[in-house]
Amino acid sequence: MAIEILKEKYTGRIKEETLGVGEAAVKIGGAAALPFHGFEGEIPNPPKIAMEVYDTAPEDWAEAAVEPFKEVINDPVAWAKLVVERYGADLVCLQLAGTDPGGANKSAAESAKLAEQIVGGLAGTPLIVYGTGKVEKDTEVLKAVAERCTGSNLLLGPVKEENYRFIGAAAIGYKHGVVAQTPIDVNLAKQLNILLGNLGVPMDKIVMDTTTGALGYGIEYTYSVMERIRIAALTTNDEKMQLPILCDVGRESWKCKEAKISEREAPELGPARERGILWEAMTAMSLAMAGADILVMRHPEAIRLVRETMGEVAKCD
């Protein structure tokens, strides 16, 4: 006797968005079913992986995280080309850690020039430009980046309730998308999407960042919120929730104590390199299952594991 597999029926669909320009542009979103539920609906675009590039050489990274990039770690433009050409990044995420007012406090003009140089070297591969989360400085920097990179179809973030008017207006004017970041909360995420929409930012130019918690450091909250957002988008046809989701996996995973502590300091935790890579890969795969459309990642080996696992899971459709 044949067994009939019960299937959910969905009425909604995640908006499909195009990032970057030309032949190297990337599409995200478009799903009409829960993640990896291809047997229940169309999922035209699997999660994409963006690799990190920093505007300043990181000083607190684990040795294993530095090693793949040690030849370019002081040259963000070369770093960006390397992650695309050697490691096959779908997108590049420029992390502007150097603009932190409490650190190097790089200027908006300097950051905008760097973003333009990276865009010029990527031949259309989409670029995400991410500030430090310091509202006033991010506003100044991201507005300058938007203007200098007019028409490159960047993703600018994080955009928060405190600065959405300024960065949103710049994104509209200079033809970019935005990443709307809110604390881990469904209602706050929806509210910021509404505000951006009222400002005039097209809904297919908004990606959500609901705040990423790494394995062991709040991932269950992140997972739950993402899952609730995706269910609302698909089952109640809530247009303000039907947006792709970005997860900042690399930064959150590798700052965990368990991912970066040396083998000498904690021999009971096993080899440091493998531990860090697995920490990032397990965090990323969990969030892909929750509904991430863009995974911002760091280590090439963790990315290989995630791509391999997503391929195996997709075969189950």
| Residuewise pLDDT in 10s, the chain (317 residues) | 778 888 999 999 999 999 999 988 999 999 999 999 999 999 999 999 999 999 999 999 999 999 999 999 999 999 999 999 999 999 999 999 999 999 999 999 999 999 999 999 988 899 999 999 999 999 999 999 999 999 999 999 999 999 999 999 999 999 999 999 999 999 999 999 999 999 999 999 999 999 999 999 999 999 999 999 999 999 998 999 999 999 999 999 999 999 989 999 999 999 999 999 999 999 999 999 999 999 999 999 999 999 999 999 887 76
Q: How far apart are CA 137 and CA 141, in angstroms?
A: 6
Backbone angles phi, psi at 18, to 5 degrees: -110, 130
**Amino acid at position 35, single letter:** P
Q: Look up residue 233 and give its two tokens.
A: 């988008």
Concatenate the DSSP letters of all residues of 206-235 into one string: EEEE-----TTTTHHHHHHHHHHHHHHHHH
- Answer yes or no: are the C-beta atoms of 145 and 111 closer than 8 Å: yes
**Amino acid at position 79, single letter:** W
Residue 255, classed as helix, strand or coil, is coil
Give how far Cα 55 sits from Cα of 74, 80, 182, 258, Å.
8, 10, 24, 26
Write down the pLDDT at residue 124: 84
Please give, one letter per residue, the 3-state secondary structure of 160-171.
CCCCHHHHHHHH
Number of alpha carbons in the 13 Å side-chain half-sphere of residue 248: 26
CA-nearest of 7, 122, 104 to 58 is 104
- Answer yes or no: are the C-beta atoms of 142 and 170 closer than 8 Å: yes
Note the pTM of the prediction, 2 decimals.
0.96
Provide long-range contacts, Cβ within 8 A and 24+ apart, for 70-76.
76/114, 76/118
Q: How far apart are CA 198 and CA 168, in angstroms?
A: 10
Write down the pLDDT at residue 131: 97
Write down the pLDDT at residue 317: 64
Q: Give the contacts of 85 (CB within 8 A, at least 6 positions apart).
A: none
- What secondary structure letter does DSSP report for 40? T
Write down the pLDDT at residue 5: 81
